[in-house]
Amino acid sequence: MKLLKGYTQQETSWMMYDWANSAHSVIVVTILPIFYNTVASYMADSASGMTTWGYATSIAMAVVALAAPVLGVFGDFEGWRKKLFTVFLLVGVGSCLALAATPMMDFITPGAAERVGLLVLALYILSTIGFAGANLYYDSFLNDVTTADRMDKVSTMGYGLGYIGGSTIPLLLFLVMNLIGIDMLFCLTFIFGFTGVWWLVFSIPMFKNVQQKSGVKREKGAVASALQGIGSTMREIAHHKAMFVYLIAYFFYIDGVNTIIHMSTSYGSTLGLNSTSMMLALLLVQVLGLPFCLLYIRLSERFGARVMVGVGICVYMGVTVFGFFLREVWQFWVMAVLVATSQGGIQALSRSMFGKMIPDAGRSGEFFGFYDIFGKFSAIMGPALVGLTSALAGDVMLRREGLTRVTASAEQLAAVDASAAPWGILSLLVIFFIGGGLYFFVLPRYLKKDEKG
């Protein structure tokens, strides 16, 4: 593949994992919410599917975020990083394979929808934990496979491969099956199972060719010592002012990015947009993802990663405002193009920026554990904020009409949820303002101090 010319075998194998796990990002994160909303429509409890999905996403991220620093410490022991990576990978893959059974279950008869919905949420949470846990170790391998001067390029190309592989091919296959008239429930069963198989098979280069080069020996008392060292690492990060401010800024701005990724189809479904049209729009995001990742690589080489991450933050602020006014399918397509311009670039360059700040490559797992906890805790806040704001806005609208969720009809609830959902999306603007403010106005001062020091 000419695209990978000039990269080492380890760099290429590491990047191929983005090709592998991106199937989860697009199928489970974007198609599963639509299926869940369908199941939720048959439940006796009339709570908005978008609200419930937001809470489930927050629970999954909370589990990983709380465990991330400890997981990072264990990943720094010699020979442990790949083993732990494998455990979380298998949890994620197994959950996807189990999800394949849910569309064929009865969720129409009274009481059945609640059971199927609960199972879907549980498997979604497990798959997200597996995905996020494996990614923690995958990210920490970055210091093992490449050098600081190549990190921006390698990290961003990884996201690019994800777009042309796992993010595009499984989704395209699902859409083709749907368009030629294959039963939708069978399509869902096939694609959830296919996602698990795809994820596992294309992780093989990572297993074969990527090795942990840095780490500490596990001796007697090493685990207790390492766990005690979490506190000293926290103090080290706090002392490294630029890293600390960067992580706080990242906490907020990546929250908005992840929330838009996780909630986009649930939002569109709540608004009543056509599912197939939304899937085609998401396919466009994946097709455009690679060229925009390559553009981010070029521009970061010229202007620097910090400038390009700032561009991405501004783009996402615009996406949030645009999303508030979204009502038609064509507007969803416009929003999809806007997201495509920066989705891969902002995530990849944020990762490489942090990788270059780490003072000791031998403890990259530990530091990436804290990087992960900031990213995952932010992903708790965003979906929960969207869900809570949408629910509050919906309750206000019902009270104005003298109704409650118990007395309102299904049609009235659907109309209220559709009217309340944009306020949930707009609430993300507050998060972007805080993250952007820290990134643009506070971080540069500490970076200058580090350069002088």
If we measure between CA atoms, which residue out of 369, 338, 348 comes closest to residue 65? Answer: 369
| Domains with residue ranges and CATH for the chain | 17-207+231-452 (1.20.1250.20)
Q: Could you tell me if 97 and 27 are in contact, meaning their C-beta atoms sit under 8 angstroms apart?
A: no
pLDDT score of 164: 79
Measured between alpha carbons, how far is 296 from 158 in angstroms, rounded to an integer? 12
Specify which residues 216 forms β-bridges with. Answer: 77
Q: Would you tell me how many other CB atoms lie within 10 Å of the CB of residue 14? A: 24
pLDDT score of 92: 96
pLDDT score of 48: 55
Measured between alpha carbons, how far is 327 from 230 in angstroms, rounded to an integer? 47
The pLDDT tens digits of the residues spanning 66-79 come to 777 777 777 777 88
Instruction: List the end-to-end C-alpha distance of the chain, in Å, as a whole number.
Output: 43
Measured between alpha carbons, how far is 338 from 322 in angstroms, rounded to an integer? 10
The pLDDT tens digits of the residues spanning 350-371 come to 988 988 888 876 677 678 767 7
* Whole-model pTM over 0.85: no
Measured between alpha carbons, how far is 218 from 394 in angstroms, rounded to an integer? 54
Q: Of 101-110, 255-264, 364-373, 380-389, where does mean pLDDT reach its minimum? A: 364-373
Question: What share of residues in the chain are helix, strand, coil (percent, to 5)?
Answer: 85, 0, 15
Mean pLDDT of the chain: 85
The stretch 29-36 carries a mean pLDDT of 84
Q: Is residue 253 scored above 80 in pLDDT?
A: yes
Measured between alpha carbons, how far is 310 from 190 in angstroms, rounded to an integer? 40
- Could you tell me which residue, 291 or 159, shows the higher pLDDT? 291
Q: What residues contact 210, with CB distance under 8 A and at least 6 apart?
A: 10, 13, 14, 82, 141, 144, 145
Measured between alpha carbons, how far is 113 from 102 in angstroms, rounded to an integer? 11
pLDDT score of 97: 96
Q: Would you tell me how many other CB atoms lie within 10 Å of the CB of residue 400? A: 9
The pLDDT tens digits of the residues spanning 156-195 come to 888 788 877 877 888 888 888 888 888 989 999 999 999 9
The pLDDT tens digits of the residues spanning 308-320 come to 999 999 999 999 9
Q: Would you tell me how many other CB atoms lie within 10 Å of the CB of residue 195? A: 31
Measured between alpha carbons, how far is 451 from 453 in angstroms, rounded to an integer? 5
E strand residue ranges, 59-126 = none
Measured between alpha carbons, how far is 46 from 151 in angstroms, rounded to an integer? 48
The stretch 378-405 carries a mean pLDDT of 85
Q: Is residue 263 scored above 80 in pLDDT?
A: no
Q: Is residue 47 scored above 60 in pLDDT?
A: no
Q: Is residue 451 scored above 70 in pLDDT?
A: no
Q: Could you tell me if 27 and 191 are in contact, meaning their C-beta atoms sit under 8 angstroms apart?
A: yes
- Could you tell me which residue, 54 or 50, shows the higher pLDDT? 54
The one-letter amino acid code at 345 reads G
The pLDDT tens digits of the residues spanning 105-150 come to 998 887 888 899 899 999 999 998 999 889 888 988 888 888 888 8
pLDDT score of 223: 61
Q: What is the CA radius of gyration of the chain?
A: 22
pLDDT score of 228: 66
Torsion over CA of 195, 200, 206 and 208, rounded to 10 degrees? -150
Task: State the alpha helices, DSSP H only, in 325-363.
Answer: 329-357
Q: Could you tell me if 159 and 294 are in contact, meaning their C-beta atoms sit under 8 angstroms apart?
A: no
Number of residues assigned to the chain: 453
Percent of the chain with pLDDT over 70: 91
Helix, strand, or coil (residue 77): strand
For residue 286, name the pLDDT band (cuts at 50, 70, 90): confident
